[in-house]
Structure 1
């Protein structure tokens, strides 16, 4: 099982001081995080694309490329690329460039975008939300499959037997589908035989089991072997030397950021400590605690959903950089070995 980090490169106000980290500092911190994650033995680091003041991650491939030459084995992915409001040619070129710099460690996680600020920014109509994604995913997959591309759609100029360069080191360049939990996304990914990543940020992760089965059934119906398709989840959380320290440290920035998003989306009630504590219980969607507890939750997730990759999102809001680096170190050197040992024991029948 692969274990890694995801981030949106949060640049939110510190909930205790009100100080806002600059975008430049957050970007530099991210490069250091990737290097530490690689040294700690983590498998993957993902950056989500956003175009708003409280996130610095508008160009994930650029940040990942900055760390590519400083790392050796960690895979580098978007988490996600908002495919609907970008150009598939440029996406492929950016990530094939990253693939070359990293010598075959780049991935693309494509999504429609739960935040929609990129649509007006790049001149797209939200009424075309679903159609844009389907059309651009078709083009992206055509580009990764063939050096020369001929393609025609409704939202982008046609391409007539033109080459797209540079070509990726990996053949094909990995493309994942990111889903917030809709049946349509699960079916689409399964039919295409693409890996899927579910964002599980609330409720109980086990409730996603029907979507996993839907994905596998769609894959099998389309002629793909569902047992060979990777499945990932992305969840918020934090690891510290003690569970109490992790819980106390992670709550204030989580509450602040969830309240911002809640106001934007009309969720109603403010995010409470009671909600937080319920979510970090064993069956909840928050992975907050010491290494043993977080590992226990990941093992339970694997048993319930059969996931092959787990992303821990450690920066829901701005967190102290030194604490984030410690969390990454603990995830790689403490949590991951426990998880792998437990899964190996289960697999051997002991």
Structure 2
């Protein structure tokens, strides 16, 4: 128990409990089952992308291209559905392949050209966004097929409620959970997972131990792209249309969600459990602002400040840790 209280996840849990208590006082609707499910459903897109971003941050990298990547994946998925007679599985596969391709390009630029991840992914973000706007002209894609609408409304375990609605786990939340489980298994039980932590701790040491750093880095960015592809279909299933302009700023929200969950932008640290709590915390904060009837522009200001504080605290803590290591080396 003492070990757990010292972990970063414990602090996040305390914040979640405090916020939940306050919001319950502000609005009796907060703790209702349908509201909690709505929080998870509305944040499923950020959550899936966060699970893809987690390995990237653990390795010491960063992926700024996820916002334009999800836009391109959503546009491709939307066009496929409106033009061809296909099914939901094919839509997911195509969107994941598009995301994986963008991730592959990121990985190759970073490993082969030795360009810093921030610069490389920023460049790909700009190019991808240009492709999206050139192809769509900024117009929405609507008129999605009926089977996709049914998928978007599908729930596991429909339970009737007093108000005549049904309560169940939405398909988007199920995909969020599966994404978290797959990421956890990959990081905890595979050689690649151990290599990701090794690279984040010390890339030079990872090379000496025998890890193929370049291959692992390419995999990491492809994994982020695949998760972004999944998130694109999930987002489209919620809103039932594709707006290529709606994903602006997603990369900062996703990164801050992972950082709030205990990961570091400097690498070597991060867990699926912590990221899950980060997703919940961001969802509760956003939902609380809505329940408190805070104006939309103030909601954006608050969320922006949370993102800024989360990343700033991470950088400050990391510098403190590095300064301690320097003092130990000097004294030694």
Whether TM-score is above 0.5 comes out as no
Normalized per residue, the structure richer in helix is 2
TM-score by length of 2: 0.26
Q: Which has the higher contact order (CA 8 A, sep 6+)?
A: 2
Normalized per residue, the structure richer in strand is 1
TM-score by length of 1: 0.25
Question: Who wins on radius of gyration, i.e. which is larger?
Answer: 2
